[in-house]
Structure 1
């Protein structure tokens, strides 16, 4: 299964979600590879930080920021149970390639009015990919959700009948995720991780159930 996380907008938490999906599945004994398709190489930087700190290697991270991703990712998937693609913002050729490679596309968004983040261009790219990949599954993921705010509830409700809809699982805004990115760890490797680890587990389980 190939899962791609992408959004035309930057700074929505794609890399954090990609790494935590991979980490959760790896802890379940799955063979997982992360493809860092973002020229900024944030997932690769995280992996290098983890190696410097001598933390356990849970999964491999490969840099593949080119528009041949749709041909190369399936080859990598032959030796893995799951491949997670961290795609870049604002590079249409790479986004198209990631969409054509993926079985499941996750679009991380932060809670806001629907017209603020549901860009016509992103939805058009998904529709275009479905011409070639009719079985492509797409979902929004509500990320960095502030606690108990009306806007989270309203955003989730606005997506009930939307195409694509949103996952039920949501990821909250917590400092522990920022610490994980900085230290080369994942939230379940830190103290007081219960709520965050639970959210990641629910997110990973719901994503896995989408597999065609």
Structure 2
């Protein structure tokens, strides 16, 4: 399965979600490859930090920020169980390539009206990609949210009946995510039974239901 994390807006947590989904599946015994399609290379930086810290490699991370991404991702998919694409912000050609490659496009959004408006462009790209790739699935996922706040509840309610629809309960705003990312680690390595690890597992499970 190829899962692409995409949104035109930067700072919505695509890299954090991509790395944690890849790590969760690898920890479960799956063969996983993460493609860093963002020219900033944040996932590659995380992988390098992990190697420098002497931590074991959980999954492969390769840099692939070019418009042949859809072809090369399919080559990678032939030898692994999951390919996770960490998509670029505001590079339409790369986004189109990622969408053509993907089985599922996950669109992370934060609880904000601005995030909702900014995601309109990626939704339009999803519709365009379906003319080439009619089986493409797409879902919003709430990220960095505090479910107790009014804006989070309002954003969730506004996405429930949208197309694409909302997937899973979402991921809360937690300091632990920022701490482990800076160390080349993942939340389940610091707190395997904690709420952050459980949220990632719940999102991965929700993705799994789409693949059945």
The DSSP-based 3-state class of the residue aligned with 1:11 is coil
Flag structure 2 segments of 5+ consecutive residues without an equivalent. none
Listed one character per residue, the Cα deviations across residues 12-65 of structure 1 (whole Å, up to 9, x for unaligned) are 000000000000000110000000000100000000000010111110000000
Superposed displacement of residue 113, structure 1: 2.7
**Displacement, 1:103?**
0.3
Q: Give the 5 Å matches for 1:50-65.
A: 50-65=50-65
Count residues with an aligned counterpart: 212
Distance in 2 between residues matched to 1:73 and 1:130, nearest whole Å: 18
Query: How is 1:36-75 mapped onto 2 (pairs within 5 angstroms)?
Result: 36-75=36-75
Q: 1:200 to 1:115 in 2, by over 3 A?
A: closer
Give me the TM-score of the superposition, normalised by structure 1: 0.96
Which residue in 2 is equivalent to 1:31?
31
Q: Distance in 1 between matches of 2:120 and 2:152?
A: 21
1:170 matched residue in structure 2: 170
**Cα–Cα, structure 1 residues 9 and 118, in superposed 2: closer, same or farther, change >3 Å?**
closer
How much does 1:146 deviate?
2.0
**TM-score, structure 2 normalization:** 0.96
1:18 paired to 2:18: yes
- How far apart, in 2, do the equivalents of 1:165 and 1:25 lie? 23
* Matched-pair contact (CA < 8 Å) for 1:167–1:206: yes
Secondary structure of the equivalent of 2:46? helix
Q: 1:46 to 1:115 in 2, by over 3 A?
A: closer
CA distance in 2, matches of 1:116, 1:29: 35
1:169 Cα shift? 2.4
2:184 corresponds to:
184
- What is the Cα-based RMSD across aligned positions, in Å? 1.4
SS at match of 2:166: coil
Kept in 2, the 8 Å contact 1:12–1:143? The answer is yes
Are 1:210 and 2:206 matched, yes or no? Answer: no
Structure 1: stretches of 5+ with no match in the other structure:
none
Deviates more, 1:189-198 or 1:2-11: 189-198
SS in 2 for 1:210: helix
How far apart, in 2, do the equivalents of 1:39 and 1:115 lie? 22
Change beyond 3 A, Cα 1:91–1:115:
closer
8 Å CA contact 1:109, 1:143 repeated in 2: yes
Contact 1:31 1:82 in 2 (8 A): yes
